[in-house]
Amino acid sequence: MPHTPQALSDAAAILAMRRKTGAQGARLPQPLRPLDAESALAIQALVSAQAGAGITAWKCGMPVQGQPVAAPIYGDAVFSGGLCTAWARDGQVRVEPELAFILGRDLPPRPAPYSAAEVDAAIVRTHLALELIDSRYSDPDEAGFLENLADGLLNQGLYLGPQVDAEHARSAAVLSINIDTGAGETIRLDGRHPAADPRAPLYWLAEFLRGRGQGLQAGQAVITGSYAGSFGLPVAQDLVIQYGALGKLAVHFSPR
C-alpha cells in the first residue's frame, strides 16, 4: 500500500487527469501502485474528489476471489435521450449491455444491515443501459485487478435507455441481445447475467457501502453486470439494441 496520503493523491492525480483528457498511458509508477483493495479504493475515492463531478451512478458485481467489484460513475459521463458522447478508440466505443436500477430513496450508512426487501423497496425504476468502457491504461490487462479497481474498473460512463418492467427485469437471468448497426447487419448474442439474479450485486453493493460509511443516494443508478461481455460499436451511426422481450435501446455515439 502507498505509505503516505501524498502517494495516494499522486496516483489519483494521474488517473483523474487521464480521465479528463481521454489519454491512456503506462501503469502507475511502482511506488504508487495499490497493493491491496483498501489502497485501491482510497485512490478511487481521491479520483472522485479530483474529478469535479458528483457520483450519479455505480457499477458493481459480486466479489471476485474476495475482492470488491465497485466503482463510481460521474454525472458528466451519464447520458440518455439517444445521443451519447464518449471517448472512442479506432472509431468505436466499447460497451456492455446491462440493466440499471434507479433508486428512489436513500440507503444511508447505519448500524444494521440492509435486507434484500429494503433494497427492493428503494428501487423506483429499472432501465436498459449500456456501460461505456474505457481504461486510463494502455494495457489494462497488464495493470491487473487492483490498479484497475483504483481506476474505476474500466468505466468511462453510462448510457441510460428506456424504462422497462421491473418485475420482468429482476428475473432476467438470460436475455438475447440483438444489435442493429444500421448498416444492414444484425449481431446476435446469447446474453446471460453473470450473477444470474440481476439484483444480487446491488444487494451486495448496498451492504458494502453501508459498511464503509458511504451508502447510496436517491436518484443514483446502479448497474450490476454485462449480459454479453464488452464489444465495440461504431460512432456516428444510429444503433438499436434489443434486450430480449424487455425492450430496445436506441443510441447514437458522438466521439469526444
CATH number at residue 241: 3.90.850.10
Residues 146, 40 contacting (CB under 8 angstroms): yes
Does residue 15 sit within a domain?
no
User: Using CA atoms, how far apart are residues 28 and 153, in angstroms rounded to an integer?
Assistant: 15
Positions in the chain short of pLDDT 50: 1-2
Q: What is the pLDDT of residue 185?
A: 81
Does residue 176 sit within a domain?
yes
Q: What is the pLDDT of residue 52?
A: 78
Q: What is the pLDDT of residue 1?
A: 46
Does residue 72 sit within a domain?
yes
The DSSP H or E segment spanning 109 is none
User: Using CA atoms, how far apart are residues 23 and 138, in angstroms rounded to an integer?
Assistant: 9
User: Using CA atoms, how far apart are residues 232 and 96, in angstroms rounded to an integer?
Assistant: 9
The pLDDT tens digits of the residues spanning 101-152 come to 999 999 999 999 999 999 999 999 999 999 999 999 999 999 999 999 999 9
Does residue 138 sit within a domain?
yes
User: Using CA atoms, how far apart are residues 13 and 19, in angstroms rounded to an integer?
Assistant: 10
User: Using CA atoms, how far apart are residues 97 and 184, in angstroms rounded to an integer?
Assistant: 21
> pTM of the full predicted structure?
0.96
Percent of the chain with pLDDT over 70: 99
SS (H, E, C) 141-199: HHHHHHHHHHCCCCEEEEEEEEEECHHHHHCCCEEEEEEECCCCCEEEEEEECCCCCCC
Q: Which of 119, 139, 96, 117 is nearest to 229 (CA)?
A: 96
The whole domain housing 202 covers 54-255
DSSP 31: G
The number of folded domains in the chain is: 1
* 75 exposure class (CB count in 10 Å sphere: 0-12, 13-18, 19+): middle
Residues 103, 209 contacting (CB under 8 angstroms): no
Q: Which of 190, 206, 74, 185 is nearest to 132 (CA)?
A: 74
Does residue 48 sit within a domain?
no
Does residue 24 sit within a domain?
no
Q: What is the pLDDT of residue 3?
A: 65
Question: Residue 65 half-sphere exposure, CB side, CA atoms within 13 Å?
Answer: 4
Strands 78-80 and 155-164: parallel
Q: What is the pLDDT of residue 12?
A: 97
Does residue 25 sit within a domain?
no
